[in-house]
């Protein structure tokens, strides 16, 4: 439950080593969050970094590829810290289209994480938020899913599915007191994209985190990072397919 000052008090980060996820947690703790659950595979997370900010930190083992464990994980997080104010699924695999072309099994496995894992966690978290009557699920989508490019169409298609799922889930939660924030960043410069050439209008994890925290304050439902990507993609959606195919990879 938000504290007496209206600040977020409890946060669950699924993907507890995510640069974006940890940047969001850091900002929320600095603004008053006092109980944080970091969940990651093998329970290997930077506990000390968050504790140093003054939060009580709980650690859980989380595997995005095992949806049968996700409901129990949400329940365990609640048992540790009580009602969940903010839930942030921040896990995923960027992958390589060339690898996927050569190995369809690898493509299916990564899509199961990038889409299926989020569906499982999202539904489990939404059920808890609905029962509470409050709380926000932050879904990290991507402009890669707004219109899928040939350069990364497996990854982009999973993000497109996730974006649609998040919008539908937000509609389903309307009126319950709980809500979904859909975040659509452009190319994020960081560990996941190291060695890649940044795309135009690239952002950092810190910039994404700032936008998410602002959305929590203003109750926006959809956030583009940076904001100027929204009009840019309004145009890109209208490009004829032959022209879209010719865009640089």
| pLDDT tens-place string over residues 60-114 | 999 999 999 999 999 999 999 999 999 999 999 999 999 999 999 999 999 999 9
Note whether residue 4 is domain-resident.
no
Note whether residue 165 is domain-resident.
yes
Residues 123 and 118: their CA atoms lie apart, in Å, by: 8
Residue 196 has pLDDT above 90, yes or no: no
Residue 194 has pLDDT above 90, yes or no: no
> 209: part of which helix (H) or strand (E)?
helix 205-218
Nearest CA among 221, 234, 246 for reference residue 149: 246
Note whether residue 1 is domain-resident.
no
- The 10s digit of each residue's pLDDT in 21-65 is 999 999 999 999 999 999 999 988 889 999 999 999 999 999 999
**CATH value at residue 231:** 3.40.50.720
Q: Are 187 and 159 in contact (CB under 8 A)?
A: no
Summary mean pLDDT of the chain: 92
Residues 187 and 200: their CA atoms lie apart, in Å, by: 8
Per DSSP, the three-state class of 225 is: strand
> Which residues contact residue 184 at a Cβ distance below 8 angstroms, ignoring those fewer than 6 apart?
141, 142, 143, 145, 146, 163, 222, 223, 224, 225, 229
Residues 148 and 22: their CA atoms lie apart, in Å, by: 27
Q: Which domain holds residue 76?
A: 10-245
Output the pLDDT for position 5. 41
pTM for the model stands at 0.93
Note whether residue 169 is domain-resident.
yes
Q: Of these residues, 62, 91, 155, 224, which one is catalytic?
A: 155
Note whether residue 2 is domain-resident.
no
For residue 115 the two structure tokens come to 């889409």
Instruction: Say whether the peptide bond before residue 226 is cis (omega within 30 degrees of 0).
Output: yes
Note whether residue 241 is domain-resident.
yes
Neighbours of 102 (CB within 10 A): 10
Residue 100 designated active-site: no
Output the pLDDT for position 6. 56
Note whether residue 3 is domain-resident.
no
Indicate the pLDDT class of residue 4, thresholds 50, 70 and 90.
very low
Q: How many domains does the chain have?
A: 1
């Amino acid at each position: 439950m938000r504290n007496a000052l209206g600040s977020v008090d409890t946060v669950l980060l699924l993907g507890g080593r995510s640069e974006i996820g940890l940047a969001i947690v850091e900002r929320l703790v600095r603004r008053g969050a006092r109980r944080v659950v970091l969940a990651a595979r093998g329970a290997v997370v930077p506990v000390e970094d968050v504790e140093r900010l003054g939060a009580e930190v709980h650690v859980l083992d989380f595997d995005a590829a095992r949806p049968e464990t996700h409901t129990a994980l949400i329940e365990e997080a609640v048992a540790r810290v009580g009602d969940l104010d903010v839930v942030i699924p921040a896990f995923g695999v960027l992958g390589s289209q060339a690898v996927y072309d050569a190995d369809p099994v690898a493509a299916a496995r990564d899509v199961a994480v990038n889409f299926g894992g989020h569906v499982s966690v999202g539904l489990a978290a939404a059920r808890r938020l609905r029962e509470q009557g409050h709380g926000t699920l932050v879904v990290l989508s991507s402009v890669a899913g707004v219109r899928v490019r040939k350069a990364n169409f497996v990854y982009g298609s999973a993000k497109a599915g996730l974006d649609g799922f998040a919008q539908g889930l937000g509609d389903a939660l309307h009126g319950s007191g709980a809500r979904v924030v859909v975040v659509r960043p452009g190319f994020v410069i960081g560990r996941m994209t190291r060695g890649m050439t940044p795309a135009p209008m690239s952002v950092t994890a810190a910039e994404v985190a700032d936008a998410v925290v602002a959305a929590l304050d203003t109750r926006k439902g959809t956030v583009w990072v940076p904001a100027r990507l929204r009009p840019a993609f309004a145009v890109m959606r209208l490009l004829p397919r032959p022209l879209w195919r010719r865009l640089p990879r």
